[in-house]
C-alpha cells in the first residue's frame, strides 16, 4: 500500500471532522491552504482550518500537513537514534478544540505517519496518534464515554492495546513541573510499526474514525449548561496548564518548530483566553477542587 492512500485518508478525515463541527457551531472554519517550495527547509503542502469566536468553539483548529525534509529533527529520533539525520516524510491530521462553555471539555486528536530513508537502507515507516480529553469541570458520564470509545476503537487489534495506549497517554500528557496530569487522558501511541504497514495504517484509521463518536455526545450534553465568570476564570486557569504542556513537552509542537514548520499552524493549539494566578487553590469541596481530586488522577474509566 502506498503512502498516497494515507494522504487521501487524512484529507477525508479532516473534512469529515470540520463539517461536523461547523454544523454544531454554526460558524465556518477559515481555510488556509499552503505550500512550501523547493529550496525551503521543508517542502510540501497542507491545509489549515481554524475558527475563532464561534458560538461553540472559542478557538479550534484542524490541520492537515504533508512535508518532506532533509534531516529528521531530534524530537522524532529520540527513540530511533539510528535514523538521526535521515531524510524524512511526515503527514498527519492534528486538531485542538477549545469550547467557549467551561463545561464542554477541550479535546485534542492527532493521527500521523512518518517515513525515514536512512543512507544505504530501506525506508522505515511508523505511525502515531491518539486523542485525549481536558475538562475544566469533570463529569463521570463524559469521561467514561470517552474512554470506552477509545477502548472500542482499539478492540479489533487485540485486548492488550487499550491498557497499553491508555497508560502511554497518562504518562505522556503529564506536566512534570506541576506534578499533575494535563487532563483525564485517552489513548496515545507513537513510533508504532508492529503489525506491518497495512494493519498499522488500519489502526491509525480506527483511531481517527472514532473521534467524532467519542467527543460529539459530550458536546451535546454540556453545551447548553449555564455558566458565569467563576467558571470562565477557572477555565482560563486550566488552559494555562494546557499552554505550559504544549510549549514545554509536546513532541508534535517541538517537531514542528525544530523542523521549520509553519508557526501559525503549530501554535493553533493554544487557547485564546488564558490566566495564571500565584498559589491558586480552589475552595475545598468545590467542583473546581473535585477536578484535581476525582478526575485528574489516572484510573480505569471503562469499568
CATH number for position 236? 3.40.1500.10
pLDDT at 202 over 70: yes
Domain range for 88 is 3-295
Residue 226 covered by a domain:
yes
Residue 154 covered by a domain:
yes
Task: Give the three cell numbers for residue 119.
Answer: 543512507
Residue 141 covered by a domain:
yes
Quote the number of domains for the chain: 1
pTM score, whole prediction: 0.92
User: What percent of the chain has a predicted confidence (pLDDT) above 70?
Assistant: 91
Report pLDDT for 68.
84
Report pLDDT for 188.
98
Residue 302 covered by a domain:
no
Residue pair 89/115 in contact (Cβ under 8 Å)? The answer is yes
Catalytic residue among 66, 98, 108, 162: 108
Among 25-34, 79-88, 91-100, 164-173, where is mean pLDDT lowest? 79-88
Residue 303 covered by a domain:
no
Contacts for 98 with CB less than 8 Å, ≥ 6 apart:
57, 58, 59, 60, 106, 239, 271, 272
Please give the C-alpha separations between residue 198 and each of 7, 195, 203, 205, in angstroms, as whole numbers: 14, 8, 9, 11
Q: How many CB atoms lie within 10 A of CB 99?
A: 26
DSSP state of 105: P
Report pLDDT for 2.
72
Average pLDDT, the chain: 91
Contacts for 23 with CB less than 8 Å, ≥ 6 apart:
none
pLDDT, tens digit, 9 for 90 and up, residues 239-261: 999 999 999 988 778 777 776 66
Report pLDDT for 37.
67
Contacts for 216 with CB less than 8 Å, ≥ 6 apart:
20, 24
Report pLDDT for 3.
86
Residue pair 291/230 in contact (Cβ under 8 Å)? The answer is no
Task: Give the three cell numbers for residue 134.
Answer: 481536558
Three-state DSSP at 99 gives strand
Residue 301 covered by a domain:
no
Three-state DSSP at 76 gives helix
Residue 300 covered by a domain:
no
Residue where the block lists cell 510499526? 193
pLDDT, tens digit, 9 for 90 and up, residues 257-273: 776 667 777 788 889 89
Residue 223 covered by a domain:
yes
The reply to whether 108 belongs to the active site is yes
Residue pair 178/244 in contact (Cβ under 8 Å)? The answer is yes
pLDDT at 231 over 90: yes
Closest CA to 10 of 93, 90, 128, 115: 93
Contacts for 123 with CB less than 8 Å, ≥ 6 apart:
115, 116, 117
Amino acid at each position: 500500500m502506498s503512502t498516497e492512500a494515507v494522504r487521501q485518508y487524512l484529507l477525508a478525515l479532516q473534512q469529515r471532522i470540520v463539517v461536523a463541527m461547523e454544523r454544531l457551531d454554526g460558524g465556518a472554519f477559515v481555510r488556509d491552504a499552503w505550500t512550501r517550495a523547493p529550496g525551503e527547509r521543508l517542502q510540501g503542502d497542507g491545509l489549515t482550518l481554524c475558527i475563532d469566536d464561534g458560538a461553540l468553539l472559542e478557538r479550534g483548529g484542524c490541520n492537515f500537513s504533508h512535508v518532506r525534509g532533509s534531516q529528521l529533527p531530534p524530537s522524532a529520533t529520540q527513540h530511533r537514534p539510528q535514523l538521526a539525520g535521515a531524510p524524512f516524510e511526515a503527514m498527519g491530521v492534528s486538531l485542538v478544540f477549545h469550547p467557549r462553555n467551561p463545561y464542554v471539555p477541550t479535546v485534542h486528536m492527532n493521527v500521523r505517519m512518518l517515513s525515514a530513508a536512512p543512507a544505504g537502507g530501506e525506508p522505515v515507516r511508523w505511525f502515531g496518534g491518539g486523542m485525549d480529553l481536558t475538562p475544566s469541570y469533570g463529569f463521570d458520564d463524559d469521561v467514561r464515554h470517552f474512554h470506552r470509545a477509545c477502548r472500542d476503537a482499539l478492540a479489533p487489534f487485540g485486548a492488550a492495546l487499550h491498557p497499553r495506549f491508555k497508560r502511554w497517554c497518562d504518562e505522556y500528557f503529564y506536566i512534570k513541573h506541576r506534578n499533575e496530569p494535563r487532563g483525564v487522558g485517552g489513548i496515545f501511541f507513537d513510533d508504532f510499526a508492529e503489525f506491518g504497514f497495512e494493519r498499522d495504517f488500519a489502526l491509525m484509521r480506527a483511531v481517527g474514525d472514532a473521534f467524532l463518536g467519542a467527543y460529539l455526545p459530550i458536546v451535546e450534553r454540556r453545551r447548553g449548561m449555564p455558566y458565569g465568570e467563576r467558571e470562565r476564570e477557572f477555565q482560563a486557569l486550566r488552559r494555562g496548564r494546557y499552554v505550559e504542556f504544549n510549549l514545554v513537552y509536546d513532541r508534535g509542537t517541538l517537531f514542528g518548530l525544530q523542523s521549520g514548520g509553519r508557526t501559525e499552524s503549530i501554535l493553533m493549539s493554544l487557547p485564546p483566553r488564558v490566566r495564571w494566578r500565584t498559589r491558586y487553590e480552589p475552595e475545598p469541596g468545590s467542583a473546581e477542587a473535585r477536578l484535581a481530586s476525582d478526575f485528574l488522577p489516572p484510573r480505569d474509566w471503562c469499568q
